[in-house]
Amino acid sequence: MCLLDTDFHGPSIITFFKKNSSTKWLNDYLLHDEPLDNCLEEISSQLETSGKLFVGFADPSASAIETNIRINEKMSFIMLKNLMKVGKHLEHPPYEVSYLILDSSPGTTYGTVNAMITTQTSLFIVKLSNADLLGTSQMITGLNKQLKSRSLILANLIPKSVIKDPAIISQIQSLIEEKFTQDIQDKYVDFIGWIPIDESLIQTEFLEAVKTLQNKDSSRLIYTLIQPDHPFSTTLVKLIPIIFGENVQ
């Protein structure tokens, strides 16, 4: 599996994993002719997992973010052309990657649009708020002609009390799918599930953020590994076959 951070306006993958200083940024490959091999790092040893996980980090520096904010159409085309080469490159040794995941920013930045164009499945994680639902619907509608992939909707930050009531869940799911289908018309959007709010997870994230402000060692936690029985983890694990296909383990 390979995970690429294509959120060039707010890189976050670097906050979960430790990057080797010799590894180049993904920006360098997409914009500056750096070989892709120099921009990927195999990090399964950090996670103590059996399968290989390659990661490409986006540059979080202020200068790199400013460069991406100012990207023009010509530069975006160069990024798209290079991004489209990644999948084929990763099919061969030493990678032999079965799944490529692109983490993108919200909205319709060049990086996000390029990522959506080059993938088979687009997963939109939304909060059940008017602004988020409307914005996501408008984004998919605007990109309808370019998107050849299936579009999946996953609702985030849902109260546990709501999720426990099957009748309410069924009703809300039908309303969400109806809303998106009406707005987008000829492209069906599949609603796949809910991620519950969990106070302990929010508190943990907050405390890690405080450590960062205090200049202490800090890293974001991967709950599916450290707490596999946590409701957040079990919910995500159940969604894996839906997102990646029935044969994935």
pLDDT at residue 5 is higher than 90: yes
Return phi, psi of residue 155, to 5°. Answer: -85, 135
* pLDDT tens digits, 140-193: 766 655 666 677 888 888 777 777 777 877 887 777 777 777 766 655 677 888
> Which is nearest to 16 in space by CA: 238, 224, 156, 194?
224
Beta pairing partners, 191: 153
Confidence of residue 131 (pLDDT cuts 50, 70, 90): low
Burial of residue 155 (number of CB atoms within 10 Å: 0-12, 13-18, 19+) = buried
pLDDT on residue 102: 94
Q: Within 13 A of 101's CA, how many CA atoms are on the CB side?
A: 13
The amino acid that residue 179 corresponds to is K
What is the C-alpha separation between 68 and 25, in angstroms, rounded?
13
Q: Please tell me what DSSP assigns to residue 169.
A: H
The percent of residues above 90 in pLDDT, for the chain, comes to 24
> Which is nearest to 153 in space by CA: 121, 183, 182, 130?
121
* pLDDT tens digits, 34-55: 999 999 999 988 887 778 999 9
pTM: 0.83
pLDDT on residue 192: 85
Return phi, psi of residue 142, to 5°. Answer: -65, -30
Strand locations in 119-218 (E): 121-127, 150-158, 189-196
Q: Please tell me what DSSP assigns to residue 106.
A: S
Burial of residue 56 (number of CB atoms within 10 Å: 0-12, 13-18, 19+) = buried
Domain ranges of the chain: 1-119, 203-249
Confidence of residue 246 (pLDDT cuts 50, 70, 90): low
Token couple for 204: 């943990």
User: Residue 63: enclosing H or E segment and its boundaries?
Assistant: helix 62-69
pLDDT on residue 23: 95
* pLDDT tens digits, 177-188: 777 777 666 556
* pLDDT tens digits, 85-125: 999 999 999 899 999 999 988 767 777 888 888 888 888 88
pLDDT at residue 249 is higher than 70: no
Fold assignment, 1-119: Rossmann fold (3.40.50)
The percent of residues above 70 in pLDDT, for the chain, comes to 89
* pLDDT tens digits, 227-240: 888 888 888 888 88
Estimate the share of the chain in helix, then strand, then coil, as percent rounded to the nearest 5: 50, 15, 35
With H, G, I as helix, E, B as strand and everything else as coil, classify residue 187.
coil
Return phi, psi of residue 5, to 5°. Answer: -90, 100
Sheet holding 189-196, edge to edge: 121-127, 150-158, 189-196
**214 or 161, greater pLDDT:** 214
